[in-house]
């Protein structure tokens, strides 16, 4: 999947768990060896970013590696075809803002009537490209998150970020809207269009819910987040649920590069089988697919 992204708080302070010292950093260092994260806590409120994340950014996300840990016994359909997207960056805009200003930016949260939802759930959303015939997946969390210090509470504009990411990947005509539940920043819905067999427009709905999270600060200045998402496709068929774990290490560069690069990040997205899958008990707590990304943040000059 090509990045991760999200928005809003329930309380002025956020209750995020700090992972066991160094656990998240160690997990990223151990890639592609990967175990299900144990030190996460239930997600309450939003995850806050540091003040140096505040502002608008052009993000370049690049898939740099992908692994099927349980191959050849278990390989998800579409995994091998995703190799064609290695080192093929996508770009999109994101913003991180003071929480108090979010209400002036976020769109209203309305859930239109959707029907005839027939999703595919095997291929990470960020790996689908414009014009492709594959259905959108439940594998990719559309989100961004982290913690800020000082007078402002810096959060991600989840609706804005998620919409830009989805449209960059799938095309503007495919993605209708991204809405965040005003009662919970951890619940986000992406509304999608697709072509039905009857050659009429059909709508699909992807619900992403952050269930657990953990954070970690390292001695070398990295801020690391881990979030576990439950993703659900709603449609005329039986809804399908999958679990995705995303771990991201952000680092502010001490000096902006000649290319204007200000922040860089490494991200690993781990995909786990749903309990509905016949191979669920074979996989146990092992991921069936791992996707590693390089993220680059370039500030957008409003002048």
Residue whose pair of structure tokens reads 């992403």 in the numeric block: 208
For 79-176, where are the alpha helices, taking DSSP H only?
158-170
What pLDDT, on the 0 to 100 scale, is given for residue 195?
65
Non-local (6+) Cβ contacts of 30 within 8 A are none
Confirm whether 112 is domain-assigned.
yes
Report residue 151 as tokens: 């007078």
Residue whose pair of structure tokens reads 């619940």 in the numeric block: 187
Report residue 88 as tokens: 């093929």
What pLDDT, on the 0 to 100 scale, is given for residue 150?
55
Best CA proximity match to 1, nearest among 80, 72, 116, 82: 82
Confirm whether 88 is domain-assigned.
yes
107: which DSSP letter? P
Q: Are 141 and 231 in contact (CB under 8 A)?
A: yes
Confirm whether 16 is domain-assigned.
no
Cα–Cα distance, 99 to 153 (Å, whole number)? 6
Question: What is the bridge-based pairing of β-strands 175-180 and 187-195?
Answer: antiparallel
Confirm whether 18 is domain-assigned.
no
What pLDDT, on the 0 to 100 scale, is given for residue 47?
81
Confirm whether 13 is domain-assigned.
no
What pLDDT, on the 0 to 100 scale, is given for residue 32?
94
End-to-end Cα separation, the chain, in angstroms: 33
Please give the torsion angle defined by the CA atoms of residues 70, 76, 80 and 85, in that order, rounded to the nearest 10 degrees.
Answer: -110
What pLDDT, on the 0 to 100 scale, is given for residue 19?
53
- Predicted model pTM: 0.76
What pLDDT, on the 0 to 100 scale, is given for residue 58?
96
Q: Are 250 and 215 in contact (CB under 8 A)?
A: no
Cα–Cα distance, 254 to 95 (Å, whole number)? 21
CA angle 35, 211, 128 (to 5 degrees): 75
Number of domains in the chain: 1
What pLDDT, on the 0 to 100 scale, is given for residue 109?
39
Task: Print the domain residue range for 288.
Answer: 23-299
What pLDDT, on the 0 to 100 scale, is given for residue 263?
95
Confirm whether 11 is domain-assigned.
no
Q: Which residues of the chain have pLDDT under 50?
A: 1-17, 106-149
For 78-99, the pLDDT digits (tens) are 788 888 889 999 999 999 998 8
Burial (CB count within 10 angstroms: exposed 0-12, middle 13-18, buried 19+), residue 136: buried
For 7-44, the pLDDT digits (tens) are 222 122 223 445 555 889 999 999 999 988 777 888 88
Question: What is the bridge-based pairing of β-strands 263-272 and 289-299?
Answer: antiparallel
What pLDDT, on the 0 to 100 scale, is given for residue 241?
76
Best CA proximity match to 79, nearest among 269, 295, 245, 227: 269
Confirm whether 99 is domain-assigned.
yes
What pLDDT, on the 0 to 100 scale, is given for residue 145?
36
How far is CA 267 from each of CA 1, 147, 202, 259, rounded to the nearest angstrom?
A: 10, 17, 33, 21
Cα–Cα distance, 43 to 228 (Å, whole number)? 9
Confirm whether 5 is domain-assigned.
no
Cα–Cα distance, 205 to 224 (Å, whole number)? 30
């Amino acid at each position: 999947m090509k990045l991760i992204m999200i928005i809003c708080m329930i309380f002025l302070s956020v209750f995020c768990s700090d992972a066991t010292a160094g656990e998240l950093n160690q997990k990223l260092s151990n890639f592609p060896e990967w175990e299900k994260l144990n030190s996460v806590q239930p997600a309450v409120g939003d995850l806050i970013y540091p003040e140096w994340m505040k502002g608008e950014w052009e993000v370049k996300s690049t898939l740099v590696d992908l692994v099927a840990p349980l191959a050849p016994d278990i390989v998800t359909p579409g995994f091998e075809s995703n190799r064609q997207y290695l080192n093929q960056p996508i770009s999109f805009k994101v913003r991180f803002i003071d929480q108090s200003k979010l209400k002036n930016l976020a769109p209203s949260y309305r859930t239109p009537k959707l029907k005839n939802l027939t999703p595919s759930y095997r291929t990470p959303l960020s790996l689908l490209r414009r014009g492709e015939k594959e259905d959108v997946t439940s594998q990719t969390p559309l989100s961004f998150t982290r913690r800020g210090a000082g007078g402002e509470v810096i959060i991600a504009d989840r609706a804005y970020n998620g919409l830009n990411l989805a449209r960059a990947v799938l095309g503007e005509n495919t993605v209708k809207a991204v809405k965040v539940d005003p009662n919970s920043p951890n619940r986000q819905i992406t509304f999608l269009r697709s072509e039905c067999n009857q050659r009429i427009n059909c709508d699909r709905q992807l619900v992403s819910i952050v269930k657990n999270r953990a954070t970690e600060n390292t001695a070398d200045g990295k801020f690391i987040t881990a979030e576990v998402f439950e993703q659900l496709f709603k449609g005329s068929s039986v809804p399908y649920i999958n679990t995705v774990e995303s771990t991201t290490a952000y680092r502010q560069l001490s000096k902006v590069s000649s290319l204007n690069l200000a922040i860089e990040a490494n991200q690993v997205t781990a995909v786990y089988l749903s309990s509905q899958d016949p191979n669920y008990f074979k996989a146990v707590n092992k991921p069936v697919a791992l996707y590693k990304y390089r993220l680059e943040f370039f500030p957008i000059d409003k002048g």
